[in-house]
């Protein structure tokens, strides 16, 4: 076959190959997909970063609810519900200075109807892990802009043929006003004839149920609640250079994280290398460094490791480091 004949044959085959490619279903891109009322997640900048809070706190007596349309979950591997939260408060009071965060757990619910049972309730975050509110006349650690926090939910909980109601609240009796509670972010929205966001102030630390769940409609503004869908992916989060400088009073740890859209990093402790617990706050950006007070830790031998997670909820861990027992006890 001459070169001219070969070229002509390839040109005849090209359209057929192109058509075959077009008929092949495309896989989901390796990025998370978000469903929220604002659409653009960057629009949730009101209240939770500082300034006027408008009483938008998440509390024992304050539950925020939104309604999302049906969500197609086909082709996704994992599902999450989440909220953008910030401005956690500290324990400081007139009788003394206490920079410890006010404790409390925050929960979210997802349901096909505006009523939330125990099976539809999921732990979201501890208040002590939220960014803290700055003080006008003092400096404290942990101050940062609001962040998104996510809770894994079964994909079957997300409705593809009906509405999806999301709710957020706390079971902490400390969280009854904006002066003691974390604040949820919000976004401005265009006026609509259909109600799709509400505030329920009739709860007492439990998710709302029954006929009066949708208590007070919200007009022109939406709380930062969303669904995140994660496709199958092969991305990895790698921890590099995990080091610990140990002395009798302090343990200084540092490490680097390699990954795509790293969301947060932290340090974990174990006594047997099987069961691990997180012992630090989340860091949301490098450099990743922590100083641990040895007086608040066990005098026995233990292990430390670093961990980090990306926006696709892939978690990576470092090798563990053995911290020897203190001689003579505490």
| Percent of all residues in the chain with a pLDDT value above 90, rounded to a whole number | 78
Task: Kindly report the pTM of this predicted structure.
Answer: 0.88
pLDDT digits (tens, 9 = 90+) for 99-127: 899 999 999 999 999 999 999 999 999 99
- Tell whether 210 and 302 lie within a shared domain: no
- Tell whether 210 and 305 lie within a shared domain: no
Domain tally, the chain: 2
Q: What is the mean pLDDT of residues 205-210?
A: 88
CA distances from 65 to 172, 180, 208, 224, 289 (A): 18, 21, 10, 10, 37
The pLDDT of residue 26: 46
- Tell whether 319 and 185 lie within a shared domain: no
Domain extent at residue 307: 238-323
Single out the residue in 197, 230, 263 at which a domain terminates: 230
Single out the residue in 174, 207, 230 at which a domain terminates: 230
- Tell whether 86 and 113 lie within a shared domain: yes
The pLDDT of residue 186: 98
- Tell whether 74 and 167 lie within a shared domain: yes
- Tell whether 223 and 255 lie within a shared domain: no
The pLDDT of residue 94: 61
- Tell whether 38 and 178 lie within a shared domain: yes
Rounded Cα gap, residues 281 and 89, in angstroms: 15
Chain position carrying tokens 């009066």 = 212
**Is 6 domain-assigned?**
no
Are 47 and 185 spatial neighbours (Cβ–Cβ below 8 Å)? yes
- Tell whether 194 and 250 lie within a shared domain: no
Q: What is the mean pLDDT of residues 171-199?
A: 92
């Amino acid at each position: 076959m001459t070169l001219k004949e070969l070229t002509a044959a390839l040109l005849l085959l090209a359209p057929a190959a192109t058509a075959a490619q077009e008929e092949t279903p495309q896989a989901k891109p390796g990025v998370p997909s978000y469903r929220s009322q604002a659409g653009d997640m960057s629009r949730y900048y009101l209240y939770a970063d500082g300034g006027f809070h408008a009483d938008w706190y998440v509390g024992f007596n304050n539950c925020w609810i939104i309604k999302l349309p049906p969500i197609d979950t086909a082709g996704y591997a994992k599902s999450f519900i989440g909220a953008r939260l910030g401005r956690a408060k500290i324990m400081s009071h007139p009788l003394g200075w206490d920079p410890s965060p006010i404790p409390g757990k925050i929960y979210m619910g997802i349901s096909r109807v505006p009523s939330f049972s125990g099976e539809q309730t999921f732990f979201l975050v501890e208040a002590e892990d939220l960014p803290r509110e700055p003080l006008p006349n003092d400096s404290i650690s942990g101050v940062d802009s609001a962040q998104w926090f996510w809770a894994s939910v079964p994909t079957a909980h997300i409705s593809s043929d009906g509405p999806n109601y999301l709710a957020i609240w706390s079971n902490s009796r400390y969280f009854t006003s904006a002066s003691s509670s974390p604040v949820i972010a919000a976004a401005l929205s265009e006026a609509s004839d259909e109600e799709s966001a509400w505030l329920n102030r009739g709860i007492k630390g439990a998710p709302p149920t029954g006929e009066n769940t949708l208590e007070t409609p919200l007009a022109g503004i939406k709380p930062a609640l969303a669904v995140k869908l994660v496709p199958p992916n092969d991305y990895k989060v790698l921890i590099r250079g995990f080091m610990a400088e140990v002395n009798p009073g302090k343990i200084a740890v540092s490490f680097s994280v390699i990954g795509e859209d790293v969301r947060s990093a932290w340090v974990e402790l174990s006594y047997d290398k099987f069961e691990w617990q997180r012992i630090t706050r989340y860091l949301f950006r490098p450099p990743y460094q922590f100083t641990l007070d040895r007086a608040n830790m066990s005098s026995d031998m233990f292990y430390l490791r670093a961990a980090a997670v990306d926006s696709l909820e892939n978690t990576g861990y470092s090798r563990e480091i053995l911290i020897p027992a203190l001689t003579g006890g505490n």
